[in-house]
């Protein structure tokens, strides 16, 4: 019951988190003055940007075509305005640090240090590592089912949730891929793809939790559970992409579905006799930590590691715990079915 209270507390806290359209840094007069001067002169202090001689859509104001912004910068959409915003932000934060002030947000984001044009390098690295761990877990699961465990006469697996976990793996790898892209460069398209893939993964994970915990194996029962949740998730994704990209609402939706599945898995682990139920408990406790880091916010240390970057880091062992249990579950269910057949 203590664990359930913890999960519920985190759920309540997630609804107290608000998202502001404007940030404190946007209204800073020194930052605003720097931004206006940079867009006119193309310089922040001694640092000047060649592509500031062109409009933000890439069309030349004057000069020959070969002086236009390089293709690799166009691909990342680092135009004159975004470069001015970044360097004015960094310059202003250096000034504030000398005065003993804490970092503040600009345009809804903490002041991160770029590395080779990558906006949040630590989050990108952890996302890529999570993608690799996710692929390794799925590949190990695939090898276990098809080459180590016995198969039915028709060459299908005995494990009833094989297809469901394969779909989970695809959605999870899709999410971590777009997460890495989004943290490399935050633009509207990458933000929508990141949010959409996250909602799809969390929504499907909730469906999968219900199907596995309640041991629903016939197609009719699965459709009855999945249909309303699929409809809800699809509607939410359409809302984010074509009506309003609402960060606050998206956070609440993801938290609600995430906490729901933690509660489902936690209660099941408390009453089941599954030999690997301790891994489920570990998954729930660690998952609660992951949820807490998602709602807890603090400035990036040295301009690189913030709460969200740590969220990416602690998600790596969570992925390992998940696939470890799935493989144990496949072995347990297969052996149980084989005993019944004999």
Q: Cα dihedral sign for 125, 129, 130, 134?
A: positive
Find, among 128, 216, 224, the residue nearest to 164 by Cα: 216
Residue 245: the pLDDT is: 87
Residue 142: the pLDDT is: 97
Q: Is 115 helix (H, G, I), strand (E, B) or coil?
A: strand
- CB-based burial label for 3 (10 Å; 0-12, 13-18, 19+): middle
Residue 70: the pLDDT is: 53
Residue 257: the pLDDT is: 94
Residue 187: the pLDDT is: 82
* CA 2/CA 9 separation, integer angstroms: 11
Q: Cβ contacts of residue 216 below 8 Å, gap of 6+?
A: 210, 222, 225
* CA 178/CA 237 separation, integer angstroms: 15
Residue 87: the pLDDT is: 86
pTM here?
0.84
Residue 7: the pLDDT is: 45
* CA 211/CA 144 separation, integer angstroms: 22
**Residues facing 305 on adjacent strands:** 301
CB 159, CB 334: distance < 8 Å: yes
Taken in order of first residue, the domains within the chain and their CATH numbers are 24-99 (no CATH), 117-341 (1.20.1070)
pLDDT by 10s per residue, the chain, length 342: 444 444 444 444 444 444 444 567 778 888 888 888 887 788 888 788 766 654 545 454 544 433 445 555 555 556 677 888 888 888 888 888 888 888 888 877 888 888 887 888 999 999 999 999 999 999 999 999 999 999 998 889 999 999 999 999 999 999 999 999 999 988 888 999 999 999 999 999 999 999 999 999 999 999 999 999 999 999 999 999 999 988 889 988 998 999 999 999 999 999 999 999 999 999 999 888 887 777 777 888 888 888 888 888 989 999 999 999 999 999 999 999 988 876
Residue 288: the pLDDT is: 85
């Amino acid at each position: 019951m203590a664990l359930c209270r913890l999960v519920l507390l985190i759920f309540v806290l997630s609804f107290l988190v608000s998202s502001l359209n404007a940030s404190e840094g946007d209204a800073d007069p020194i930052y605003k003055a720097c931004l206006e001067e940079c867009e006119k002169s193309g310089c922040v202090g001694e640092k000047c940007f060649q592509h500031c001689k062109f409009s933000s859509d890439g069309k030349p104001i004057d000069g020959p075509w070969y002086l236009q912004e390089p293709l690799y910068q166009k691909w990342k959409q680092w135009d004159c305005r975004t470069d001015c915003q970044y360097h004015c932000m960094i310059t202003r934060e250096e000034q504030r640090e000398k005065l003993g002030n804490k970092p503040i947000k600009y345009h809804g984001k903490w002041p991160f240090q770029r590395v080779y044009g990558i906006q949040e390098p630590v989050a990108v690295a952890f996302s890529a590592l999570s993608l690799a761990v996710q692929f390794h877990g799925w590949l190990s699961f695939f090898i276990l089912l098809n080459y180590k465990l016995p198969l039915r006469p028709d060459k299908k697996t005995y494990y009833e949730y094989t297809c469901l976990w394969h779909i989970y793996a695809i959605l999870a790898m899709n999410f971590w891929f777009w997460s890495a892209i989004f943290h490399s460069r935050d633009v509207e398209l990458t933000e929508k793809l990141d949010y959409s893939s996250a909602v799809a993964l969390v929504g499907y994970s909730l469906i999968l939790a219900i199907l596995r915990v309640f041991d629903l194996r016939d197609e009719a029962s699965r459709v009855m559970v999945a249909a309303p949740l699929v409809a809800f998730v699809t509607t939410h994704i359409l809302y984010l992409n074509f009506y309003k990209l609402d960060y606050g609402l998206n956070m609440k939706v993801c938290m609600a579905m995430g906490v729901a599945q933690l509660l489902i898995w936690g209660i099941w682990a408390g009453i089941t006799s599954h030999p690997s139920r301790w891994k489920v408990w570990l998954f729930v406790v660690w998952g609660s930590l992951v949820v807490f880091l998602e709602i807890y916010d603090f400035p990036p240390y040295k301009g690189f590691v913030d709460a969200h970057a740590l969220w990416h880091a602690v998600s790596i062992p969570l992925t390992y715990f998940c696939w470890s249990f799935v493989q144990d579950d496949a072995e347990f269910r297969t052996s149980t079915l084989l005993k019944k057949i004999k």
